[in-house]
């Protein structure tokens, strides 16, 4: 049995910061999620149905794309705790409507 938590994020609300204390699997249920992980030079845009594995000890920031997002976090079991990163789909250009409001001023 695994614990699964569901979160809803609105577009424009500040990015949520998480310190991962146990390996997690993040799955986007609806919308798009912007995700960055400390120490990883890439930012990720995940769409509904996509999953991202977060390893114990990582720090991650998530924010919703336009229209908001719903995501599920589940503790990864031993078989699923390996680090899996989605392949880079090429550079994603930042467009003001897709960048979290707090990041637009940088």
Express as a percent the part of the chain with pLDDT over 90. Answer: 56
**What are 44-92's pLDDT values in tens digits?**
999 999 999 999 999 999 999 999 999 999 987 654 444 455 554 444 4
Concatenate the DSSP letters of all residues of 5-67 into one string. Answer: EEEEE-TTSPPEEEE-SS-EEEEEEEEEEEEEETT-S-EEEEETT-EEEE-TT-EEEEEEEEE
pTM of this prediction? 0.70
pLDDT band of residue 93 (cuts 50, 70, 90) is: very low
Could you give all domains of the chain from N- to C-terminal order, each with its CATH number? 4-103 (2.60.120.10)
Distance from C-alpha of 6 to C-alpha of 28, rounded to nearest angstrom:
10
């Amino acid at each position: 049995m695994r614990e699964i938590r569901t979160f809803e994020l609105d577009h424009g609300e500040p990015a949520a910061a998480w310190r991962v204390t146990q390996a997690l699997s993040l799955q986007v249920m609806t919308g798009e999620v912007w995700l960055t992980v400390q120490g990883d030079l890439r930012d990720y845009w995940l769409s509904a149905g996509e999953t991202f594995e977060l390893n114990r000890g990582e720090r991650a920031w998530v924010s919703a794309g336009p229209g908001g997002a719903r995501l599920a976090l589940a503790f990864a079991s031993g078989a699923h705790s390996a680090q899996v990163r989605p392949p880079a789909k090429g550079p994603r250009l930042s467009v003001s409507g897709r960048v979290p409001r707090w990041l637009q001023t940088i």
